[in-house]
Structures are given as C-alpha cells and as structure tokens.
Structure 1
C-alpha cells in the first residue's frame, strides 16, 4: 500500500477570504471553516460572516483577523470600551449578555461531551451575574517607561502596553486609584516600578495599593504613597512588593508595608478574612458567593465528615466547609496564603481545620499513603487542572464525593474522564459566570463514588 498523502492546508498566510462562523472556542474566538479546515478569528461569534485575513497557519488550523464584518450573528452589539480589541482584558464586549451566557454554556457542554464523553444534559443552566460591569475587586496594571510612564493593560498575546484611562470591569474605587496614580506617574524616574496592583474590599470599600518593583531600592515610593494618601480617602494600605522576574506572576514573594495596614478586611457569608498583598482571592465577590454556595451544596455535609480542600488559597472555602464538617484539611503551596488561612481561622474562632503547606500533587499522595479517611474532597485547581498524582491519590482515598471547581472546561472534562475510570461518576455540572465580558467560565461538578455491586 502507498503512503497516505499529506493533506494540503487550504489557506495561505496573508490571504483574504470570506468566512461564515459556526463555532466558538474556549479562548473566545469564532470558528470558520475552509474545506473543513478550522480558522480561528477573535471578536467573531457564530452567525457572523466576514472578510478575514490569515495571520498564522499551522498544520491543523489557522488564525486570522477580521477585516470587514459582512453579516452580524445573533446577539452582536457595539462594545462600550474605546480600547476594546486592543487591550487583552475582554473578549466578549461585542456580544450581549444573554448570548454570552449561551456561548459559555455551550463551551462547557462541548468539553463535557467531546473530551469527557459524558452526556450534555449533565450541564445545568448557567448562573449569570446581576452585575456585568465594574465587578472586579482587583486590578493589575503594567507600566511602560517610555518618557511619560504610561499605565494600562497589555495587548492580547504580547507585552505591548495599551494605555487606558479607566476599565469598565474594575470597581469604581479601583478606577479612582488608577486615575490618581496616572496623574503622578510623570514624576517617577527610572524603571524600577513594574506594576501597580489595586485591591478593594467590597464589604468596607477600603482600598490597597501595591507598588510592584524589580528590586527593593524604591525611595520614590514614600512620596508616591503620600500623594495617594492625600488624594484617596478610602486608602487603607500601601505595600511595596518585590518581583525581580521579568515574566510570570505579577507579584513576587517578598513585600513590605510602606504605610497603613498589612491587609484588607473582608467578609464572606459572615466570616471575616484578611487579604494581604500577595493573597489570591476571587475577583467577583457577588458571583463568588454563588460559586461557593454551589460547592457547599455539592459537598452535602452533615457535620460528621472529614474533608480535604485542595488548592485552598487563603482558606475561604475551607472555613465555609469547616462550619458544616467534623474536620477539614486545607492544602496550598504558597506559604503566605497558608499564613493568611491560619490567621483567618483564628479570627473566626474555627478550630476544626488544619492547613498544610506544599504542592497538592505531593501532599495528597502522602495523605493517601497514611490512609487518612475522608468522605469529601474539594479541588479548585489552576487552569491546567489536576496533576495525575492528585487524581490517583483521590481515587485511592476513596471519598464518597469529589467536588471539582474549575476555571477551564477542557481540563475539567479531561480530569472527570480520568476520575470516571477510577470509579466515580458526575452527577451534574453547574456553570457559574464569574467574569462577564470575557471568555472565562467557572464550573462546579459533583462526582460520586459508584457503589460496587454485591
């Protein structure tokens, strides 16, 4: 038999062609096809037809840019932000909110069926947001030192700064801080200041400003801090964070307080939490309440269970679980987050918790080897999903229920399929829209152990 001929790619670089869009990717791009060959184009949605210029060609797909929109698909609207399409923060401002929810639900269904092999009817109706603008309680703004010290966001897929005056997704208090800070930047010399990070406590409306620098030598920080204090009455904390790494996470592991408190005080379901400069918390507080409510209901606690909360962060879910469980173990690899978690447990007088510092893929197998019994395991991993060692350890521990909180439908479906091979079955999949105007969607899944037949 002769060798199979390689399939010829039907598009060329810089070629212009008309496409009708019929699909949608989990990165927020519309999908058109040329002789069955997929072309991904940002800022398009199913139902659109447009003229496209091919910007990248790969073996199995191509990417293009929209040159001219010829027909509008259902739900297309005019975006409100003047830098939409340049700034990389939003992907769906050109879509009305009802359609956004439909697209996100379909993303979850596609992943669950195509990757996981599960039926689509497992996916429940998405929990949409009441507030679709100004919902973010944290903003991270890079700086460009080009003579005028501009501040903004990076263009999608690059480190090219797009200057902004405000952000339609950020809390009003953060936009106030951004405006005041921008008016001062021309006074700064050198390029030590890399990012400004602003946080707000929705409960108290107090704010924090974090100066992220390449090194500790930032004498201008004191004067900059004084300026902010004079202009922003609700400012409660100003912190310098040192991060010498040119790429990767915005925040480094070392901080010092320039002025004010070490952390902001916040609440979640009557529990009090301290949020430090380095703490990771969900950025949409109202939708976070819905997300955690779903996770708690899926856990189905009666007060008798031992629970593990993997990737626990500052212990928000851990402490909520602890109020309904016998004992909860929280696992997190960032030491500063565990310090916050322990402080938060003490603050709320919750003693039936134990926080462990370490990578989940190392700690959980050790717990499994010690034959620690647990009825419920809750996991909330990063976008890459759970490591194989984590899935294997969970299966070995054999909890009655696994509650999987995910921010990536593709890795979620992959992990659910692996857990299904270890004796678990998904009972339902609940999407929650934490990030309106973006392609991101959170999901809570209840996995139950399959009872062995006698």
Structure 2
C-alpha cells in the first residue's frame, strides 16, 4: 500500500476550511486534514460552511486571511455576506437565535462545571426580549478600511485593531440609530477633515456615540473629536452638524434631545471627555426600569439592552428572595461596582440599608441623584476604588450581611475578593458580564468556603459572543 505523506501547511498557502464550530470567544474555527491544530478564519462563519483563504501563523495561532465563504451551507445573512462589511461583533450572524442561545449557554455551563464540581442549579437561559435592533448605545470609530484609504465611520473589522468597516443596516441597532449613523458618516466625509491617526496623533474625528432610552423616547448624539480645528471652522462644523441631525425624520416617537461635542486629545483609544460643549438640548437621558427612574449621563455605564435588563434585575431579586435564614428587610447590602446605582436602588426596597461603591464619579453623582429622584432614603453611593473605600466602611463600623457584585469585564480581582472574604457574609450574589473572569473569581471564593447554589445566563447581547451571568453563592457551614 502506498504511503501518502501528510501535507505540511506553509505561510501563503491557499486552502479551503470546513468550519467545525465557534470557540468560547465566538471565533469560527476548523481543522485542515488530520492536523489537530485549530485554524481560525478572520471572518464570521458558522458550522458546516466552507471558507477559502490564505494560511498564516500569528501569535502562535493558525489563521486564514483574505477569506471568503464559498459554501454557505444553507445559512444566509444578506446584510453581511459581503465580507468587506463584516465586523468583529456579530460572531453569530449565521446562526438562528435558538442556536446562538444553546451554543453560548452550553459553553458557559461547561466552563463553570470545571470549577464547581458539585451539585448546583444551572437554570435555563433567559432570552433577550428582542433579538435584533436591541442596543440602546452604539459607539462608532472613525478610521479607514485599509491603510491610506479614505475616512469612514463604522466598527472594527473582525480580528483587526486598525481596520474599520461601514455598517449601514447593522442588525444590532434600530432604524433611528441607522439614520443618525448614515448622516454622520456622510457629513463627516464632506467636511474634508481627517480622522485621528493613533501613531502620529494628528487628525480631528475620533468617535460617534449614540444613546437612547425607550421610556422617554430620548436620543443623545455625542460627536467625539480632538481640538485640532480652528475656532471659526469649529463653529461652522457644529452649526451644520446640529442642523443636519435635527432635520432627520425619526420614527416611533423618538427625538434627538441632546447633541454633544466632546473633545479628547488623549492618546488612549477609549472615549474620554477632556471637555465638552452642549450644542443642543441637554446631556442627560431619563430611563425607567422596574418602576424606578434613572438619569443617565453620557459617560455613565448603563446596560445596553433596555428591555432585557429588567429580566436581569428580576433574577437578582429572585435570588435575594431565596436567601435562607436571613431577614432581608433587616440586612445591610453592599452593592459593589454599582455604576449608576441601578441594582442598589432596585434591591433597596427589600433591604434595611444599601451602600454602593463605584469608581466613576459622574456615575456616583447620578446614582445619588437618582435615589433622591425615586424617594429612596436607604441607599447611598460613594465614588472611589472598591478596595480602598471598603477601609472607610470598616472605620465607620459598616459591615454587610449580603454582598452584591457587578464588576467590569476584568472581574473583582483576588485582592478585593480577599478583603471581602473578611466580612464572612453568608450570601453573595455575583452578576458578571464576563464568564471567564467570573470563573476565576469563583475559584477564589470556593477556596475560601463558598459554594455556587444557583446560576443563570441572561442573553443581553444576541448575535454576539457575550452573555451575562447571575449567580448566588452561599458560605458552607462547618
């Protein structure tokens, strides 16, 4: 029998790859021949589809670049089948919503069970109220699709830090957002001004941020630029921007109630406000969640899926009600990483006292303002680093009976967790937007006597790889 040598892939080989699935980060992958190494195409694709591209090795990973899908395997998504328009956020664009939910939920369940090797309840996933056009905030970047190409406004291309793709018709945003995006894209191009180049720190346009609230039908448009513009031209730019935006015919009773011009000369790529001008209306939005009103400032964190966030917070309330052996109404609750105080104010009607800590000062100002707006007297929020501010609570003799954690994607962190462990509370409710760092923190909590009682995933981000997690942990009695 003739022995066939296994083909060794070389950089630059053009190959076809059948997609085997998506990893936990939502990236499609496949295997070439008998090779056990995963190969990742730099486009969104689904199981069973065949992708053709150029083989490369980057950062110890095998990848395909300059890809196209040559067999869609019966899965079509007309808006994004044009590869040049695919962005890095819509990893599940070729899957039905039920498939998305099953895959993401299964991935999280498997990873949690690697850590929690005992009996606990893993609940059915909580579905998003809307599976398309659900986002109440969109943050776009100015750049180009390729080096030295013309300026465009859009989102980052799949697996690219530099390249931008235009996203007219993006399924994550509603038609009003799309109208504002399209106008700003074309308007910006017509000005003749360039985008901010990260390497030489020259240019004007940086970001466009659009936020809305369903309760009051308000929309805030925030144009983020550098200060690299002459005063006279700046005034003309601002006047034309406001006139163009207010001339847009929006739908479903929504209207633009605020237009901001934010200035950011910071070298960081994140949206930072070094100064700002209100060009029209007001800068805050007013939302209502579970009967409570919340004023949202331009830079405060607020959940991006307004209609599903109530389900998320209802799950927190359910877990609070399930805590055994505690008189909740006589309990002191710590709401840590509290943002605009949404969770703290919602649980305040059940607790004796709620104390929140949040790093962003503007968010804390809004949290206390919102508490006053809602007539809540037993919830107080302070600004600062959680680790440091806990010392102030200790000095004032304030100790929690229950801790609620809702950290950023980086998680709570071992240093802060170790400080929290000293309180020896019986019950912790942990809300996470990043299951990976949740598992890291869960491991630390388990090593210090806590067990997972119940956990649920909440799909706040359809079409993307992200899922929110709500969990309840209990201290094991010795």
TM > 0.5 fold call = yes
Give the structure 2 partner of residue 241 of structure 1.
262
Give the structure 1 partner of residue 306 of structure 2.
285
Contact 1:195 1:211 in 2 (8 A): yes
Q: Superposition pairs for residues 12-51 of structure 1, below 5 Å?
A: 12-17=10-15, 21-33=19-31, 34-41=34-41, 42-46=43-47
Task: Mark the runs of 5 or more structure 1 residues left unpaired by the alignment.
Answer: 1-8
> Is 1:396 matched up with 2:422?
yes
The alignment's TM-score, normalised by the length of structure 1, stands at 0.88
Contact 1:364 1:390 in 2 (8 A): no
> Is 1:205 matched up with 2:217?
yes
Change (3 A) 1:22 1:88: closer
> Is 1:55 matched up with 2:72?
no
> Is 1:166 matched up with 2:160?
no
Contact 1:77 1:95 in 2 (8 A): yes
Contact 2:121 2:454 in 1 (8 A): yes
Give the structure 2 partner of residue 3 of structure 1.
none
Secondary structure of residue in 1 paired with 2:98: helix
Deviates more, 1:244-253 or 1:85-94: 244-253
Give the structure 1 partner of residue 295 of structure 2.
274
Per the TM alignment, residue 182 of structure 1 is displaced from its structure 2 partner at its CA by: 3.6
Change (3 A) 1:248 1:187: closer
Q: Superposition pairs for residues 39-118 of structure 1, below 5 Å?
A: 39-41=39-41, 42-46=43-47, 53-59=54-60, 61-64=61-64, 72=73, 77-82=75-80, 86-114=86-114, 116-118=115-117
CA distance in 2, matches of 1:421, 1:23: 34
Deviates more, 1:235-244 or 1:139-148: 139-148
Per the TM alignment, residue 424 of structure 1 is displaced from its structure 2 partner at its CA by: 0.5
Q: 1:259 aligns with which of 253, 277, 280?
A: 280
Give the structure 1 partner of residue 3 of structure 2.
none
- The CA deviation string for residues 156-199 of structure 1, in whole angstroms up to 9 with x for no partner, is 32222212333221123212322333443344243423212111
CA RMSD of aligned residues (A): 2.8
CA distance in 1, matches of 2:285, 2:358: 21
CA distance in 1, matches of 2:269, 2:314: 32
CA distance in 2, matches of 1:102, 1:431: 11
Deviates more, 1:324-333 or 1:213-222: 213-222
Per the TM alignment, residue 98 of structure 1 is displaced from its structure 2 partner at its CA by: 0.9
Contact 2:337 2:386 in 1 (8 A): yes
Residues paired across the two proteins, number = 439
Contact 2:431 2:470 in 1 (8 A): yes
CA distance in 2, matches of 1:120, 1:23: 29
Change (3 A) 1:395 1:253: farther
Per the TM alignment, residue 367 of structure 1 is displaced from its structure 2 partner at its CA by: 3.7
- The CA deviation string for residues 85-119 of structure 1, in whole angstroms up to 9 with x for no partner, is 632231111111111011101110222133x2435
CA distance in 2, matches of 1:352, 1:274: 19
Secondary structure of residue in 2 paired with 1:303: helix
> Is 1:443 matched up with 2:441?
no
> Is 1:386 matched up with 2:388?
no
Secondary structure of residue in 1 paired with 2:40: strand
Per the TM alignment, residue 11 of structure 1 is displaced from its structure 2 partner at its CA by: 4.8
Per the TM alignment, residue 371 of structure 1 is displaced from its structure 2 partner at its CA by: 5.7
- The CA deviation string for residues 114-139 of structure 1, in whole angstroms up to 9 with x for no partner, is 3x243597422111123111111111
Contact 1:109 1:120 in 2 (8 A): no
Change (3 A) 1:12 1:247: farther
Contact 1:107 1:409 in 2 (8 A): no
CA distance in 2, matches of 1:389, 1:262: 36
Per the TM alignment, residue 47 of structure 1 is displaced from its structure 2 partner at its CA by: 5.0
Give the structure 2 partner of residue 132 of structure 1.
131
Per the TM alignment, residue 21 of structure 1 is displaced from its structure 2 partner at its CA by: 4.7
- The CA deviation string for residues 135-157 of structure 1, in whole angstroms up to 9 with x for no partner, is 11111122248897532222132
Q: Superposition pairs for residues 283-322 of structure 1, below 5 Å?
A: 283-300=304-321, 302-322=328-348
Deviates more, 1:138-147 or 1:302-311: 138-147
Give the structure 2 partner of residue 363 of structure 1.
389
Change (3 A) 1:147 1:94: closer
CA distance in 2, matches of 1:216, 1:51: 43
Task: Mark the runs of 5 or more structure 2 residues left unpaired by the alignment.
Answer: 1-6, 195-203
Per the TM alignment, residue 62 of structure 1 is displaced from its structure 2 partner at its CA by: 2.3
Secondary structure of residue in 2 paired with 1:397: coil
Contact 1:15 1:54 in 2 (8 A): yes
